[in-house]
Structure 1
């Protein structure tokens, strides 16, 4: 979900996110079954089996509505940047990120780009070719949609727990990606509950999700946002 609010999308063109997006774009266009996973040990086999069960569990939901709290810790700042709001994820449409604090702004994120709607209702659009927006969108939709095993082509994956309470640690196995991203950590159960991205320089972005619920239909306002996008 791992990533993602106003601050995240302002940074969408930075080297760390651009590199992560490039790898995720490749992974997200493949189904989990399309990626060959060949564990080297019994422990790796167990990890792969758990990841497959987690992916299947997450993928069973066509849409999710949740609240989020994002905390971004940057070496250049003395205090973390915190924002909160709500999100709607629909696998075949995209994501609506609605930041409520510290200011109100909405982002409608899809394969074609990002539409920003500020508190006054003014709209601006960033196309998919700008800053890897489409790739980041595909990454988040793949992760929230349960397409996790596809990430094996770019990450070493360690898993523990059970499908009811699991943790995943993704470490880049490609040198170019490792120059930008140190790790991705995900936790959850029936839904993704947290996503933490640690950059190679130590900066972190953590997003905690709460109140998650599966949805079968959008509200009229949400449908209008996707339609306008």
Structure 2
């Protein structure tokens, strides 16, 4: 029994570590670019304040819908490691409910973010629920991330202006949106966020104060209603399947 509890606690701790290192990504075109070169590119972005005309143009490019499903590949570049840590899976988004990250490799795990709740799912489908009142930083993240994805996937950027200082670079074939959180709790966890795409959202990246970089590239994005099985991940009273069974 004690061994089982220790294993369960270790899994939960590992899921929390994955969450803290996760939730972000970078340009799909820069996978071979060095860490230093990426930082230089971002300095140019964060020296370019967004204006209303530019944001209106970006909204037109994004289009959007109320729900979506897609696949992701996440790479975490840590200064202490020579090679990135890579994980893969799928995500589910519903405007009124939140977002679910369902990792399938290197091991199955899940993370569901709603406006007031963070749910971690282990490989056996066991869930650990955290509420905003239990952990202020986790609560701030659980509120911010669904709003961020909702803005980018629905094409409504207005809510972001209340939560972030916005920076924008646009060209004919691509755009970059830089975000600096206003909330100090969120800023401590994610001081700078970069989103990029050609038309819709293709990647999202996180730069932290230690110089580490997390990258998530989105693929096979389909803006469509979620199935009943997919919606079950957002119900606190449901018994969701392990992430490896999500489709």
- Per the TM superposition, whether the score is higher than 0.5 is yes
Question: The residue matched to 2:143 in structure 1 has which SS?
Answer: helix
Q: Does the C-alpha gap of structure 1 residues 112 and 180 become closer, same or farther in structure 2, counting only changes over 3 Å?
A: closer
Distance 2:218 2:111 in 1: 17
The answer (yes or no) to whether the contact 2:49–2:166 under 8 Å persists in 1 is no
Q: Does the C-alpha gap of structure 1 residues 178 and 105 become closer, same or farther in structure 2, counting only changes over 3 Å?
A: closer
Name stretches of at least 5 consecutive residues in structure 2 with no aligned partner.
Answer: 1-12, 24-47, 238-247
Tell me how many residue pairs correspond in the alignment.
194
Richer in strand (by share): 1
Q: 2:193 aligns with which of 152, 175, 184?
A: 184
Look at both structures and tell me which one has the larger radius of gyration over its CA atoms: 2
Q: Does the C-alpha gap of structure 1 residues 228 and 184 become closer, same or farther in structure 2, counting only changes over 3 Å?
A: closer
Distance 2:81 2:220 in 1: 30
Name stretches of at least 5 consecutive residues in structure 1 with no aligned partner.
Answer: 1-5, 18-42
**Does residue 116 of structure 1 match 2:120?**
yes
Q: Does the C-alpha gap of structure 1 residues 133 and 52 become closer, same or farther in structure 2, counting only changes over 3 Å?
A: farther
**Does residue 92 of structure 1 match 2:96?**
yes
The TM-score with structure 2 as length reference comes to 0.65
The TM-score with structure 1 as length reference comes to 0.69
Q: Does the C-alpha gap of structure 1 residues 227 and 89 become closer, same or farther in structure 2, counting only changes over 3 Å?
A: same
Q: Does the C-alpha gap of structure 1 residues 178 and 61 become closer, same or farther in structure 2, counting only changes over 3 Å?
A: closer
Q: Does the C-alpha gap of structure 1 residues 8 and 55 become closer, same or farther in structure 2, counting only changes over 3 Å?
A: farther
The answer (yes or no) to whether the contact 2:64–2:223 under 8 Å persists in 1 is no
Question: The residue matched to 1:10 in structure 2 has which SS?
Answer: helix
RMSD, aligned CA:
3.4
Q: 2:17 aligns with which of 4, 10, 20?
A: 10
Q: Does the C-alpha gap of structure 1 residues 174 and 144 become closer, same or farther in structure 2, counting only changes over 3 Å?
A: closer
1:228 match: 236
2:168 match: 158
2:209 match: 200
